[in-house]
Amino acid sequence: MTELELELEKKEIIRTYRKLLRHAKPFLKDDDAKIIKRAFNMSQEAHKNMRRRSGEPYIFHPLAVAQICVEEIGLGTTSIISALLHDVVEDTEMEIEDIERHFGKKVAKIIDGLTKISDVFEYGSSQQAENFRKMLLTLSDDVRVILVKLADRLHNMRTLGSMPRHKQIRVSSETIYLYAPLAHRLGLYAIKSELEDLYLKYTQSAQYAEIVNKINASKAPRSRFVRNFISPIQKELNKRRFKFTIKGRPKSIYSIWNKMNTQAIPFEKVYDLFAIRIILDLDQEMEKAACWQVYSIVTDYYQPNPDRLRDWISTPKSNGYESLHTTVMSKTGTWVEVQIRTKRMDEIAEKGYAAHWKYKGLDSSSSESGLEAWIGKVREILDHENSSAIEFVNDFKHSLFNKEIFVFTPKGELKKLPGGGTALDFAFEIHSEIGARCIGAKVNQKLVPINYKLKTGDQVEILTSNKQRPNEGWLSFVITSKGRTRIKDELKEQKKSAASEGKEIVQRKLKQIKLTLNSENLDKLLDKFNLNSALDFYYLVGKGKIDPKEIKKIKALSDKPKKSALKTVSDSESLQRKIKEATGEKRDQLLIGEDMDIVQYSLAPCCNPISGDDVFGFVSTHEGIKIHRVNCPNASELLSKHGHRVIKAKWTSQSEVSFLAGLKIKGTDRVGMMNDVTRIISSELRVNMRSVSIESDNGIFEGSIQLYVQDTKHLLKLTKRLENIEGVEEVVRFDVH
């Protein structure tokens, strides 16, 4: 770089730093500005020779994270310092002790929570899950760890364009699986929506771009519609002397895409593309009455849908969200969602947890205690550190529920449960011992089983018995983390007892054929029964689910030839080595269609990828590499928990190979419709069909066709031809299982 370019970079760094200070100025006290400057200088010095993948100096990243903390989350000095220094321990020679010496225990604790674990992990564990657990362990002391981490993740997602494709997919999947739900749970709706949109941008690029283009194309008529819709409401609010603002808030790209996919409809049929938000500026004690008054004004002009009224003012969500939502019919015949809230409620909705501190003391109602209660539940999960990191992440994911129900105890006490919560979840919510002994419940005076799903407004009485014990079946319907943790603890005790008996049986059977129970023989047995752990094996033997006679067959296993070393890999580095050994090429990418003689791989049955699909390889425990589509239903979980077992994969030219794909077809029925569909598939495009199923009801037909295609271009050509048939309304691809 030239001296002039370096000088311009320095000026830009200072300009960015001053912008941060300007936003922080309103809440700085005493020597805060000096401490922030010291943190900035330390970070700049620590990262002075480092550049990001985009080529810009690394210091821009901590500055951007600090800016998000201040401007978008509403955090203060401690968080700014932590954000500026969040990478120095991980990336440089600096230690946590140095941070504590210069900036105190609080900052050191936050940065320690943000610093990744560098230890080596045993096979079968997940470094991503371990890092996530470590970060959450600090939640017990300081929730700012999570908030700074979300700011860090948001900036990484905003700058993901400069990363290689496989990293874009892994980071995006981790984001949608854990960080977007976490942002939602902490009430950071703006950040949650942006994380979801960015996930879509990097995993479903074409669909993302198409939705963005269609939203932009409909901007002018949408603005006109919003102006006409709010005009009578504005006049009435002005007449009654309300201080207010009205916004037309567009639906996020991700939520439009989600609706298109879950309902199998095109963009043009997503009618609720935006919501109208009315924000009142008034004193807190007048909020509730004023919001209902505005609701009355809105419904005077527009007919409401009685099933779509949501009152989160009387009963706020656990993350503190307060608002009144209604859906009304506009004069043009389309449904419009109207959200009514105050300035305070809007700030809490946008800035979530952090905004509560601003209003602390003004209101001691449930808005803050709901969040505190949720954090208390997370702490309960954290107390059970004996579970594996992956189990922990699964339990934590369960606690990130979106919808809630409100139920009552026999004495009328209100309890919040996740949507889909059962009578047994309610029992564990009261007390873990009551949950463990629960045999049934009375809901609204009627006897129900323990797996009965509760609804808002139910009054629940729990029935118990001292003879009752938790069993594995409970995990299939209990969804609260408190309940699942207690059940798992109890099952582990039961499992250890059965496993102890099982181990004795195994030792006895091996002794009969003159073998000892050593690691080599144990590995052979685990491989034979397709199991990952010795505990699972001993448990199944102890419970009689593995026939002890089968154990004696281990002798025959010794005579089998071992699998070729070339056939299996454990990660992308071992794949690279095997490809180099076999071909002399240095590449870390699996070529689907060419590398079958080098490594063992197959197409995943959960998403049945076809040539041309965006894919990745995942190293499974027993079945070699599985090729998954990036938009496979299991992709985000696999990529989030086992990033080290993901490998890059690419299709090679395979014109002679056919792939199974599925198409759902829908439209208005007529004579000859079936004939036209099969003619285009079989005669004109010469595509082989595996199965066709079409049903007609009152002039509307729906069908599913499974057929063999060469690649995605071939499938797209077929889809377009079918869409052109008279009467066909939509043709959508589905996963064939």
CA distance 207 to 721: 20
> CA angle, corner 477, sides to 471 and 482, nearest 5?
75
CA distance 399 to 456: 18
Measured over the CA atoms of residue 306, residue 312, residue 318 and residue 321, the dihedral's sign is: positive
CB 628 within 8 A of CB 592: no
DSSP 3-state of 695: strand
CA distance 563 to 549: 25
**E strand spans, 30-181:** none
Chain-centre distance for alpha carbon 391: 16
Per-residue b or e along 224-258, where b marks 16 or more CB atoms closer than 10 Å to that residue's CB: ebbeebbeebeebbeeeebebeeebebbbbbbbbe
CB 324 within 8 A of CB 340: yes
CB 69 within 8 A of CB 85: no
Closest by CA to 707, choosing from 662, 651, 665, 664, is 662
CA distance 626 to 616: 8
Name 338's bridge partners.
Answer: 276, 326
Q: Which of 12, 31, 45, 90 is catalytic?
A: 90
Which DSSP state fits 452? P
Backbone angles phi, psi at 461, to 5 degrees: -120, 130
CA distance 267 to 261: 10
Q: What are the Cα distances from residue 528, in Å, to 129, 493, 552, 646? A: 29, 26, 12, 26
Backbone angles phi, psi at 379, to 5 degrees: -60, -35
Closest by CA to 192, choosing from 311, 277, 336, 72, is 72
Q: Which of 91, 433, 493, 527 is catalytic?
A: 91
Q: Is 90 one of the annotated active-site residues of the chain?
A: yes
CB 685 within 8 A of CB 717: yes
Residues annotated as catalytic (active site), given as ranges = 90-91
